[in-house]
Structure 1
Amino acid sequence: MVATVSLDAILHKHRIRPEIQALQTELVQWRRNFHQKPELAFKENLTAEFIAQKLTELGIDHQTGVAQTGIVALIEGKGKGKVLGIRADMDALPIQEENEVEYRSQHDGIMHACGHDGHVAIALGAAKYLSEHRDFNGTVKIIFQPAEESPGGAKPMIEEGVLKNPDVDAIIGLHLWNNLPLGTVGVRPGALMAAAETFYLRVQGKGGHGALPHQTIDPIVVGSHIVTALQTLVSRTVNPIDAAVVTVGEFKSGRAHNVVADFAELSGTVRYFNPELRELGDRLSKVVNGICQSYGATYELDYIRMYPPTINDPAIAALVKTIAEETIETPLGVVPECQTMGSEDMAFFLQEVPGCYFFLGSANPHQDLAYPHHHPRFNFDETALGMGVEMFVRCVEKFLA
């Protein structure tokens, strides 16, 4: 016979305070509401309406319509002090959900497949607790951000002054993470997540008959040489100590076996941790130019720098790590220094003010809750919600002590 452990026992084990334990049912309800009504980038109207309604009920001052659908809430402490920002992203993904749960998505072709529904619930839970326990000096600014998945809502919010009036001294955020077991916080100083850059390339050749290749400029041959050459950007031009990746994810050309196509289209991604590797985009352009010239082809290259690396401030990261060690009893025994080539537009906030973005383990394979992010069956153990609130609250208490 296998003994079962109650939710209260799990939360108590992880030193979640009783007031936050009491929020767990509400946190789950909020999260499932968001999960049932997912919305894409800059269309998070129902999500924003729900958040604003809850903030109003809690008597928390807030501003709506920031960068279209974003919301900023202010919670004043008992005395003057610094300002700590808390960021939570709100948007979903264009994925058809395959989970058979009572709270599955009601919006066809749209799903919270990355955990942002949990992020919003955690931030709301922290707002509720802090509004009722204002025994800190300073201000907490909670930022509900649209469009993290793309095209990015952090930069527009910053441009609209979200880090001003009052000026934010530091900022924190978390990501529920199914790559870590429930009850594990992953954090590191420096680069946590990579830059994300995308390229779209059209190689223009000269089409013709497959039996007469000398009359053509074959864009498939040209494109193939480009794909091969791009592999050397990392292997032969980047210091082996630095991590980077160049991936060509699309290569489309031709429609018949005996016809040399007129053009080829390629697209891909470039990712790196070290900001100095921003020059990879220029190197990629030179490779494309050189190969196309040598074959007599022309090209159009659109290179888009989406998100910079997500770089944590060492002091704030150390603060988060200490709180995690005091609060969360991880099954791994330690707080791991995680790092991933995934990207985040939290990076823009961290370029403006010191801060820390960290992972909160949410996987529970025993309950079939371990599918990867962006999978149509992604889901997570909702016990992590209370842990997230506790982490945020303790960060506020320590930073604004």
Structure 2
Amino acid sequence: MNFNKVIANGYGMKDWLVNIRRDIHITPELAMEEFVTKEKIKVYLNEIGIPYKEYKDHRGIMAYIINENNRHTVAIRADIDALPIRENNNKSYKSKNEGVMHACGHDAHTTMLIGACKLLYEMKEELNVNVKFLFQGAEETYGGAEYLIKDGCLENPTVDYMFGLHVQPYLETGFIECKSQVFNASSNSIRIRIKGKRAHGAYPENGIDALVCAAQIITSLQSIISRNLSPTNMAVLTLGKIEGGEAQNVICEEVEIVGTIRALNKKSKDMIINRARDMIKNIAIAYKCEGRLIVEGNGYPELINHEDMVEVLKTNTKILLGEKSYIEKEVPAMGAEDFSFYTKNCKGVFFNLGCGNKEKGISSLIHTNEFDIDENCLPIGSLIHVLNVLYFNKKS
């Protein structure tokens, strides 16, 4: 297999990739609503000629190259959903869907995976590994990875190795960042409910003020991490929304607070949840209220990168981009990533791909309304996917 030719072909399809990315960017859709996005992906897969499978309970797609005689299977994942953000720029490919934007780069991830499909399908006769290409919806909110896993995407044949990436504008195009072990924190959504007793605001002795109780709970919860975890063990407890009260002259009867817990290991997460539950209950009792903590669902587990898979990525990064192109990430990110569900089931690695370009003014961070990418990163993303697969092609 001529790797120089593969790399040349990858860079040679840049214009095609740019057109695909802009086509997808212009029609962003929220999690579980990726109907148009799915149809556009199918158009490009049909153009390539690669077979694919659809699912009835979500908008995910799995394209594949499978030969029953191959011993190993490699999977690559791209997320396809967008965010409820109003795009703020004057680009020709600006979102046409008001209030929805590809502010996290999933349009780029999808495009890169389509590019990998094209390159690998063109050399399918030379492959002695199976390849699954997972176009996954609902990463931002519902943990769409679980839908594909439930539908058997990691089975028949069993996926042995898995890769995923995320564009990051704080990295310049041409650089890749990764680390072994914990790469992203776990995430759990929480809801706090406090119940008091309604009364006229002029006669507080007749009521039980849930709002005053909520204020004490919010303040007290901030001590959990600072006074129960080592400063070297990162975690986050953020309360982002509070609702309660009916009028300025009515003692508040009910308050609801919603937030998120992020941690790097289960022990820390469980400690935070248990301490929060105890504090909420007992502070509420002190104020003659009822208080309880609700942890919604199982959340996203922490994302673990397998060390040998990181070495594969590091080797291929240096082949594709040069010796200094690989950056060792110093600490895990506290943002959650549902790629973590995959690495609970098979060896995998998730990494950051540079998409920033300060000279072009491309530096706005993900999840902002001015986010954009340096489109020179598109063929790089496709090619690193291909090189990662081909590493196992020569090992099989």
- The reply to whether TM is greater than 0.5 is yes
Give the Cα separation in 1 of the matches to 2:295 and 2:5: 48
Does the aligned pair in 2 maintain the 1:194–1:272 contact within 8 Å? yes
Give the Cα separation in 1 of the matches to 2:199 and 2:6: 70
- Aligned residue for 1:374? 367
User: Could you tell me which amino acid in structure 2 is paired with residue 221 of structure 1?
Assistant: V
- Aligned residue for 1:11? none
Equivalent residues in 2 for 1:216-235 (5 A)?
216-235=207-226
Pick from 300, 310, 315 the counterpart of residue 308 of structure 2: 315
2:233 alignment partner, SS class: coil
1:28 alignment partner, SS class: helix
Q: CA deviation at 1:168?
A: 0.3
Q: CA deviation at 1:293?
A: 1.7
Q: 1:78-108 CA deviation, whole Å, 9 max, x = no partner?
A: 9623100100000011111111111111112
Higher mean C-alpha deviation, range 211-220 or range 182-191: 211-220
How many percent identity over aligned positions? Answer: 34
Give the Cα separation in 1 of the matches to 2:229 and 2:177: 27
Give the Cα separation in 2 of the matches to 1:202 and 1:231: 17
User: Could you tell me which amino acid in structure 1 is paired with residue 46 of structure 2?
Assistant: T
Instruction: Please state if 1:185 is matched with 2:193.
Output: no
- Aligned residue for 2:245? 254
Equivalent residues in 2 for 1:326-365 (5 A)?
326-329=319-322, 334-337=326-329, 339-365=332-358
1:155 alignment partner, SS class: helix
Does the aligned pair in 2 maintain the 1:325–1:335 contact within 8 Å? no
Instruction: Please state if 1:299 is matched with 2:278.
Output: no
2:20 alignment partner, SS class: helix
Higher mean C-alpha deviation, range 175-184 or range 24-33: 175-184
**What TM-score, normalized by structure 1, do the two folds share?**
0.91
Q: CA deviation at 1:261?
A: 1.4
Q: CA deviation at 1:162?
A: 0.9
Which runs of no fewer than 5 residues in structure 2 stay unpaired? none
User: Could you tell me which amino acid in structure 2 is paired with residue 384 of structure 1?
Assistant: C
- Aligned residue for 1:8? none
Instruction: Please state if 1:104 is matched with 2:97.
Output: no
Q: 1:277-331 CA deviation, whole Å, 9 max, x = no partner?
A: 231223221211111122211135321232111111111112112222332248x
1:144 alignment partner, SS class: strand
Give the Cα separation in 1 of the matches to 2:16 and 2:326: 30
- Aligned residue for 2:393? 400
1:137 alignment partner, SS class: coil
- Aligned residue for 2:45? 55
Give the Cα separation in 1 of the matches to 2:355 and 2:266: 30
Q: CA deviation at 1:254?
A: 3.1
Higher mean C-alpha deviation, range 340-349 or range 250-259: 250-259
Give the Cα separation in 1 of the matches to 2:376 and 2:238: 36
Instruction: Please state if 1:163 is matched with 2:149.
Output: no
- Aligned residue for 2:262? 271
User: Could you tell me which amino acid in structure 2 is paired with residue 91 of structure 1?
Assistant: D
Does the aligned pair in 1 maintain the 2:176–2:325 contact within 8 Å? no
**What TM-score, normalized by structure 2, do the two folds share?**
0.92
Instruction: Please state if 1:283 is matched with 2:283.
Output: no
Higher mean C-alpha deviation, range 299-308 or range 28-37: 299-308
Q: CA deviation at 1:211?
A: 4.3
Give the Cα separation in 2 of the matches to 1:67 and 1:175: 25
Task: Give the paired residue count.
Answer: 387
Pick closer, same or farther for the CA change 1:311–1:121 going to 2, 3 Å: same
Does the aligned pair in 2 maintain the 1:311–1:350 contact within 8 Å? yes
Give the Cα separation in 2 of the matches to 1:212 and 1:328: 71
- Aligned residue for 2:134? 143
Give the Cα separation in 2 of the matches to 1:41 and 1:143: 16
Give the Cα separation in 2 of the matches to 1:32 and 1:359: 21
User: Could you tell me which amino acid in structure 2 is paired with residue 266 of structure 1?
Assistant: I
Q: 1:326-353 CA deviation, whole Å, 9 max, x = no partner?
A: 32248x7651315311111111111111
Give the Cα separation in 1 of the matches to 2:259 and 2:247: 25
Give the Cα separation in 1 of the matches to 2:186 and 2:224: 16
Give the Cα separation in 2 of the matches to 1:21 and 1:198: 41
Give the Cα separation in 2 of the matches to 1:32 and 1:370: 18
Instruction: Please state if 1:133 is matched with 2:123.
Output: yes
Q: 1:337-383 CA deviation, whole Å, 9 max, x = no partner?
A: 15311111111111111100000011112222111111111111011
2:315 alignment partner, SS class: helix
User: Could you tell me which amino acid in structure 2 is paired with residue 250 of structure 1?
Assistant: K
Pick from 83, 97, 100 the counterpart of residue 93 of structure 1: 83
Does the aligned pair in 1 maintain the 2:63–2:134 contact within 8 Å? yes
Give the Cα separation in 2 of the matches to 1:383 and 1:232: 45
Does the aligned pair in 2 maintain the 1:15–1:328 contact within 8 Å? no
Does the aligned pair in 1 maintain the 2:178–2:327 contact within 8 Å? yes
Give the Cα separation in 2 of the matches to 1:16 and 1:275: 42
Pick from 161, 176, 188 the counterpart of residue 197 of structure 1: 188
1:299 alignment partner, SS class: strand
Does the aligned pair in 1 maintain the 2:184–2:335 contact within 8 Å? yes
- Aligned residue for 1:172? 163
Q: CA deviation at 1:67?
A: 4.0
